[in-house]
Amino acid sequence: MNSNTSNLALSIRHLSVMYDDKVVLKNVSLDIEKGKLLAIVGPNGAGKSTLVKAVLGIVPSVTGSFSIFGNHIDKMRKNIAYMPQRENIDWDFPVNVFDVVLMGTYGDLGWFKRTSSLHKQRAMDSIRAVGLEGFENRQISELSGGQQQRTFLARALAQNADVYFMDEPFAGVDIATENTIMSTLYHIKKEGKTVIAVHHNLDTVQKYFDDVVIINENLIASGDVSSVLNTTNLTKAYGKNFHSSYLKSLGPDSCAPFPSPS
């Protein structure tokens, strides 16, 4: 990763986070380059969601500093989209697909301003981009898990942000939805934007992402996937008893045998 500040979508210095008296992230410093697809990996409870929430300012006890394109986060809120982990969304909330997606455009609105036909158009374009046309009026409680994920992806898209934080965008979706989500992420990247996604499936890290951050309370490694995703780092993150077929396929310190996306 690069140390030229103007090229950094996100820069984190000495981030530590506590919940009550328990430290869940310790002294994490890292730089994320603009225009990359980056995966954050680590075991359950490693602090992946906490890392994202800390940057977004939605966890209480945080020390350290961060900047987005060299600016304080408060100046950059309009430039950031966030798709939360699905457990954190109230799926019973009485709201339909169109309104959830339209909410993505609200960052553009000043006080008392009403949504324009342009915002509505952008919401519809985003719904179409994730293949949900025809579902606009459906309550989110009446969608399948994959359709719910697509709805929140469409909301993030409608935000037209520069940096997209996504917490497990592929959780619980079938391969068709995974492909739709991935093409959407490639499309976002093609526009020069940055995607930072918490990701669980180590088998697809090499195929989908440019860079990876491996954490487990501490930062274990960060950099381009081919140089960082190796047995040593994964064992540090997941422990000695981590014996997935994936890890076995890696050999002592080699990289995953996956082709790059075309």
Ligand X SMILES: Nc1ncnc2c1ncn2[C@@H]1O[C@H](COP(=O)(O)OP(=O)(O)OP(=O)(O)O)[C@@H](O)[C@H]1O
- Interacting residues with Mg ion (CB under 5 A): 49, 85
Residue of 15, 28, 32, 46 interacting with ligand X (CB under 6 A): 46
Residue type at position 27: N
> CB under 5 to 8 A by kind: which of ligand X, Mg ion, none does 42 bind?
ligand X
Among 10, 39, 49, 193, interactor with ligand X by CB under 6 A: 49
CA 244 vs CA 71, 77, 79, 146: distances in Å: 41, 39, 38, 26
For position 50 contacting ligand X by CB under 6 A, the verdict is yes
Binds ligand X (CB under 6 A): choice among 2, 14, 45, 58: 45
Which stretch, 40-48, 127-135, 153-161, 221-229, contacts ligand X (CB under 6 A)? 40-48
**47 counts as binding ligand X under rule CB under 6 A:** yes
213 φ, ψ to 5°? -115, 125
Shortest distance (Å) from residue 127 CB to ligand X: 27
What is the rounded distance in angstroms from the CA atom of residue 75 to the CA atom of residue 67? 10
Q: Which listed residue (15, 28, 42, 130) binds ligand X by CB under 6 A?
A: 42
Shortest distance, position 48 Cβ to ligand X, whole Å? 3
Residue 206: which region, alpha, beta or left (left: phi > 0; alpha: psi -120 to 50)?
alpha
Q: How far is the CB of 104 from ligand X (least distance, A)?
A: 23
> Taking CB under 6 A as the criterion, which residues in 65-94 touch ligand X?
85
Cα–Cα distances (Å) from 64 to 14, 67, 159, 259, in that order, read 5, 11, 28, 37
Separation between Cα atoms, residue 86 and residue 140, nearest integer Å:
12
CB of 71 to ligand X, least distance (A): 25
> Which does residue 115 touch among ligand X, Mg ion, none (CB within 5 to 8 A, set by kind)?
none
In Å, what is the CA distance from 49 to each residue of 36, 167, 251? Answer: 19, 7, 30
Say which residues have a Cβ less than 8 Å from residue 60's Cβ, sequence separation at least 6: none
Q: Which residues contact 112 (CB under 8 A, 6 or more apart)?
A: none
What's the min distance (Å) between Cβ of 146 and ligand X? 19
Query: Among the candidate windows 2-10, 42-50, 181-189, 243-251, which touches ligand X by CB under 6 A?
Result: 42-50
Total number of residues binding ligand X (CB under 6 A)? 11
Residue 119 binds ligand X, judged by CB under 6 A: no
Instruction: Measure the CA angle with vertex 88, ends 65 and 128; round to 5°.
Output: 100
Contact 216, 43 (CB under 8 A): yes
Q: Is 106 in the site for ligand X (CB under 6 A)?
A: no
Does 199 contact ligand X by CB under 6 A?
no
Beta carbon nearer to Mg ion, 88 or 254: 88
- Amino acid in position 67: S
Q: Which residue from 5, 19, 141, 251 is in contact with ligand X, where contact means CB under 6 A? A: 19
Catalog residues that contact ligand X under the rule CB under 6 A. Answer: 19, 24, 42, 44-50, 85
